[in-house]
Amino acid sequence: MRATAHSKAVERVIRLCGVHDDARALRLALIDEIRRAVEFDAYAWLLTDPETEVGCAPLADVPWLSDLPRQIRLKYLTSVNRWTELDVPVRLLRAATADQRDRSLVWRELLAGHGVNDVASLVFRDRFGCWAFLEIWRIGSGTHFTDAEAQFLTEIARPVTEALRGCQARAFDVATSAETRTGPVVLVLSPELEVRAQTPETERYLRILVPPDADRQPIPAGAYNVAAQLLAVEAGVDDHPPSARVHLANGLWVTFRAARIGEAGPRDERDITVTIESATPAERLGLYVRACGLSDREAELLTHLATGADTRDIADRMFLSEHTVQDHLKSIFAKTGVRSRRTLLTRAIGH
């Protein structure tokens, strides 16, 4: 990529980052712009819970859709270029493995069979957490990703990370009504992540989270991801808990959790249950703090505020003057875009 074209492509991406408030719309716009600068044949872009780093709310275009559960399972069990292990924003498969791509479990067991030649893995991480990961694939015997293309992807990682985090923060702006809180709903998966059974409301949740085309059944990709993380924990590949918080709609945040069913028989032969339920006030608060970029001290203050403490109580608990408490509150208001404690708590904890 020429230097001038490179710079203009970066500028277009940065411009798009300031246009969209919704994470799905932002990713759709960005993926088209990225494709103009870096050619690829397929991709998967997942938001992640910034604390557990487990994927949810996927956006993808892959030709091997029937293999999706298998791909997710293998991706979580693969240590090579795993997003949780990347110490740089971008890593290329052929470069990372010195062209020994079979060192990657997901390439060896799945992607090679679909003719994937190279993979670019991107992680969108800042000091507040991991917000997303993206993988783009080149299929066929063509060229692999170049250093110049990797440099372009590296340069856009920071502004895209900030934009994605901002989208997550703005998803709290709508107050959640009591009528929208429900759950838990349950999905039962086999050890290979095949759907065994589900409760009646499960499909409704999944259909809202990732709307399917036409009248097709929704793909439970969020459930596949937390279940795959459970497998990764059991295999010792990663130690993050198998759970993820994700915005469903209209200010409603839900938490996906995975666990084995029962205790009879070998663990790896037992089915996996994935529960989906409204995020608790504490779960919402923890995510809100990260999404809005609050400092540790501001997060502590907001936690006290959520318990019903007033300015004097907070000052006593934090060993601060009431004046300093007010200064911290002003900073929180500036970062969250609210003007009152009541609105702040409504967004942070949902009521």
Q: What is the pTM of this model?
A: 0.94
Mean pLDDT confidence for 252-257 = 93
CATH assignment of 3-170?
3.30.450.40
Is pLDDT of 177 > 90? no
Residues 12-66 pLDDT 10s: 999 999 999 999 999 999 999 999 999 999 999 999 999 999 998 899 999 998 8
For residue 263, the tally of other CB atoms under 10 A from its CB is 7
Residues 56-82 pLDDT 10s: 889 999 999 889 999 999 999 999 999
- Options 3.60.9.10, 1.10.10.10, 1.10.8.80, 3.90.105.10; CATH for 294-349 is 1.10.10.10
Q: What is the DSSP annotation of 134-160? A: EEEEEESSSPPPPHHHHHHHHHHHHHH
Average pLDDT value for the chain: 92
CATH assignment of 178-283?
3.30.450
Residues of the chain with CATH 3.30.450.40: 3-170
pLDDT bracket for residue 181 (50, 70, 90) = low
The answer to whether 40 touches 138, Cβ cutoff 8 Å, is yes
Residues of the chain with CATH 1.10.10.10: 294-349
End-to-end CA distance of the chain: 50
Is pLDDT of 10 > 50? yes
Tell me what pLDDT residue 200 has: 81
| DSSP structure class, residue 199 | -
pLDDT bracket for residue 179 (50, 70, 90) = very low
Is pLDDT of 1 > 60? no
